[in-house]
Amino acid sequence: MPQIRVRAIGTDGIAVPGAHLSVPWASVPFPEVAYLAGDDGAATLNLRTGEYRLRADAPDGRSGEASVAVADMPAGVDIRVEEA
C-alpha cells in the first residue's frame, strides 16, 4: 500500500506538532483511526488508490481539511489549520 506524508501547518506555514490527523471520508474502505503528528507536524499514512478527505486538529483547537486523490501517489499533503 502506498504511503503519503500528511503534515499539519498553521496559516503562517509553520508545522503544528502534536496535531491529530484523521480521514473523515474516503471513497474506499478506510479504518476509523487517528494519527498523532510528530514534532514536524507530520505523520505517514498508508492510503490505497482512491479519494480522501484528510483532517488535522491542532492541540490549541485549530482545525483544517484537505482533499486528495491518490492515483499517481502525491509526495505529500499539507493541511492548513485555522481558527474556528
Site of grid cell 502506498:
2
State pTM to two decimals: 0.86
Whole-number percent of the chain with pLDDT over 90: 65
Q: Categorize the per-residue pLDDT at 2 as very low, low, confident or very high, splitting at 50, 70 and 90.
A: confident
Q: Which residues contact 18 (CB under 8 A, 6 or more apart)?
A: 36, 37, 58, 59
Residue 68 has pLDDT above 80, yes or no: yes
Task: Give per-residue pLDDT as tens, 36-61.
Answer: 999 999 999 988 889 999 999 999 99
Q: What share of the chain is helix, strand, coil (3-state, %, to 5)?
A: 0, 55, 45
In the chain, the number of structural domains is 1
Greatest alpha-carbon pair distance for the chain in Å reads 34
Whether pLDDT at 62 is above 90:
yes
Provide the domain limits for residue 59: 3-80
CATH of the domain at 20: 2.60.40.1120
